[in-house]
Amino acid sequence: MNDACFQGDIPAAYDRYLVPILFDPYAADLAQRLASVHPHRVLEVAAGSGALTRAISSALPHAQIIATDLNQAMLDVAALRHSGGHIAWRQADALSLPFPDHIFDTVTCQFGVMFFPDKQRAYREILRVLKPKGTFLFSTWDSLESNAFAKVMMTETDALFPEDPLDFFRRTPHSYFDAEAILSELERAGFESAAFTKVEKTAHASSARDAATAFCKGSPLRMEIEARNPKFDVVARVTAALEQAFGKGPIEGPMSALVFTAEAPR
């Protein structure tokens, strides 16, 4: 199964549900960190439906932003949400970026590096397109244990499919949180001054069902669910588990991510 495949109805559900619940709070944070570097030309990789792109556009209204993603369907949703003149949307693979050497002041990525099948190759490509002393700024999710909504969702789906668990979130989004190992990978790729910080936020959803829909229909978990052809409503079951953990009506829970910075050599 291709974990990086966000096609069909997934991009729209991703943007409607997952983005406001999980991604927007971190997008605002990452955009402010990016603005402090004062870049003129920004490349975003794995831009998805443009949560971070929109935040960067607000924080850096005069910067040139090129937002890329492997999935054209995600970029199509992003372009509908934001058509600002200083943003260019372009389909691209982070492992083979279609740009000349040393042309970007910063490269950024929100919750996308976990999907790169060859992280060293992607990091070398990002380093190649950065200007000397340019900045690479990106985020990864912390462990499932540190992200309350995702933890409850996984506990419930493990119980629903004990013989054939749904592993997408463990396998990819919440699989890449060993900070020291990531710093080592960045250094091996040629980056300097690599550092990280843990950023804790609160996830908010207007209802448990919205959160359940976000996970079950707005991510490749949907394909894992459909492949098992369940005879029950998985969204309803996850909704009930979230309501039991967080209550009915609007819900909230802690979430945690790691934000990394690294510099290109002079």
Is 223 among the domain residues? yes
Query: Does residue 1 lie in a domain region?
Result: no
pTM of the model: 0.95
* pLDDT of 5: 64
Q: Which of 23, 139, 150, 141 shows the shortest CA–CA distance to 77? A: 23
Residue 1 corresponds to which amino acid? M
Secondary structure class of 119 (helix, strand, coil): helix
Asked if the structure places residue 144 within a domain, the reply is yes
Q: How far apart are CA 232 and CA 237, in angstroms?
A: 8
Question: Across residues 67-92, what is the average pLDDT?
Answer: 89
For residues 47 and 105, what is the distance between their CA atoms, to the nearest angstrom?
A: 17
* Residue 2 falls inside a structural domain: no
What is the extent of the structural domain holding 102? Answer: 10-263
As for how many domains the chain has, the answer is 1
Task: Say how far apart CA 49 and CA 76 lie, in whole Å.
Answer: 8
Q: Is residue 102 part of a domain?
A: yes
pLDDT greater than 80 at residue 252: yes
Q: Over 80: is that where the pLDDT of 39 sits?
A: yes
pLDDT mean over 64-86: 88
Which pLDDT value is given to residue 183?
Answer: 98
Q: Are strands 41-44 and 104-110 parallel, antiparallel or unpaired?
A: parallel
Rounded Cα–Cα distance for residues 81 and 96 (Å): 27
Quote the DSSP letter at residue 146: G
Please give the average per-residue pLDDT across 237-251, as a whole number.
97
Give CA separation, 236 vs 20, 149, 164, 209, 239, in Å: 20, 15, 19, 7, 5
Pair 212, 239: CB distance under 8 Å: yes
Q: Name the token pair of 236.
A: 């309803």
Give a yes or no: residue 90 inside a domain. yes
Dump pLDDT digits (tens) for 185-213: 999 999 999 999 999 999 999 999 999 99
Rg (CA), the chain: 18
List the CATH number of the domain containing 57.
3.40.50.150
